[in-house]
Amino acid sequence: MTSDEQGFETLAIHAGQEPDPATGAVITPLYLTSTYAQDGVGGLRGGWEYSRSGNPTRAALETCLAALEGGSHGFAFASGLAAEDTVLRAVCKPGDHVVIPGDAYGGTFRLFDKVLQHWGLDYTAVDQRDLDAVRAAVGDKTRLIWCETPTNPLLGITDIAALAGIAHRAGALLGVDNTFATPYLQRPIDLGADIVMHSMTKYLGGHSDVIGGALVVNDAALAEQVAFHHNAMGAVAGAFDSWLVLRGLKTLAVRMDRHCDNAERIVAMLREHAGVSSVHYPDTDEVAAKQMRRFGGMVSFRVAGDEEHALAVCGKTKVFTLAESLGGVESLIEHPHKMTHGSVAGTALEVPGDLVRLSVGIESIDDLLADLAQALG
């Protein structure tokens, strides 16, 4: 059976992870080494030379990531932002232009606005649900459309296949931040994207114990450019971090199904609750139905009343931990206006003060429902 014929769960557990040829160890060993002995000058055993350029634990993760996203090449980085910085400088040059989402992840916006703009990369931020606005923002110098779907924290959905069409007609590439959906729920390369990016810190790692990033591409020339910059810029994932993410990936499918089961129950409860004025979850979106298998573990809602009520809810939960980040097995609650999205207060990206964001974990659903019910009062 070739890996093309294997199912997602099989690939998550086996792709890149054959038993260790030296010992038979079933689990990919943690190769904590910076360098490798050579048999005579230039006589590399198995091609390994120096661990920034390549490490067997990281390589196993990279093979698995590529298989899960349906791409040809995967790359593991020290963080999601390191992956973004590397791919942007691999495919763009100073003077180029990029179209980014109006509500991009805050760190992504900061990278474009405060770092890459000084390097000479221009950007336009638009609401990418409006495809005419995206077409209008694309110009001669546009090299890349960068997309995030679902978005954070309002769970907006953009049409990946439509954006790929717009990008390709303009001679540009489409990059998709697939952190919220994961490849189990959404595969951007199948929909025409050229680059998939992840914060592995979130669902791929899945246990809130590692910071990491990933890129997957499906084109040999693009892979070569990314590989060169991966090594030349050096923001690679360490061996132990790679090992932790590889362990997380093995259970990605079962975790995501439980995240979705629990989120669906919570959404149903919140939609009926008098203390909640609106619920954001993509299960009612036509584009989401077309491009996603299910709708994920992220939910946000507006508390009836004002910001004080929303802050009070965030302070009262006992099973949901008040914290930033997302995608781990444990449920988290946060107040975007004052926490993750504090830096965009006063700008067009500002989020409502009565908004609460949940990263729904995989605890017993009855405990999660009871905790939210008591916090909403």
Q: Are 337 and 355 in contact (CB under 8 A)?
A: yes
Classified as helix, coil or strand, 129 is: coil
Catalytic, 105? Answer yes
CB of 79 to ligand PLP, least distance (A): 3
Q: Are 325 and 206 in contact (CB under 8 A)?
A: no
Tell how far CA 331 is from the center of its chain.
Answer: 18
CB closer to ligand PLP out of 205 and 353: 205
CB closer to ligand PLP out of 204 and 267: 204
Residues 6 or more apart in contact with residue 329 via CB below 8 angstroms: 206, 207, 208, 255, 361, 362, 363
* Bridge partners for 332 per DSSP: 321, 359
105, 184, 203, 281: the active-site residue: 105
Q: Are 11 and 67 in contact (CB under 8 A)?
A: yes
CB of 172 to ligand PLP, least distance (A): 20
CB closer to ligand PLP out of 182 and 376: 182
Retrieve residue 137's tokens: 């923002």
CB of 214 to ligand PLP, least distance (A): 10
Alpha-carbon distance of 129 to 126, in angstroms, equals 9
CB of 99 to ligand PLP, least distance (A): 17
CB of 316 to ligand PLP, least distance (A): 25
Catalytic, 52? Answer yes
Residues 6 or more apart in contact with residue 359 via CB below 8 angstroms: 297, 298, 325, 326, 327, 328, 331, 332, 333
Q: Which residues bind ligand PLP (CB under 6 A)?
A: 79-81, 105, 107-108, 148, 152, 177, 179-180, 199, 201-202, 211, 213
Classified as helix, coil or strand, 295 is: coil
CB closer to ligand PLP out of 56 and 175: 175
159, 177, 241, 371: the active-site residue: 177
Shortest Cβ contact with ligand PLP: which residue? 80
CB closer to ligand PLP out of 177 and 371: 177
Q: Are 267 and 281 in contact (CB under 8 A)?
A: yes
Catalytic, 281? Answer no
Catalytic, 203? Answer no
* Bridge partners for 197 per DSSP: 177, 215
Using alpha carbons only, give the angle 315, 318, 321 rounded to the nearest 5 degrees.
70
Q: Give the H or E element holding residue 122.
A: strand 122-126
202, 294, 302, 357: the active-site residue: 202
Angle between helices 365-376 and 307-316 (to 10 degrees): 140
CB of 121 to ligand PLP, least distance (A): 17
| Sign of the alpha-carbon dihedral angle for 219, 92, 78, 229 | positive
CB closer to ligand PLP out of 71 and 80: 80
Positions marked active-site = 52, 105, 177, 202
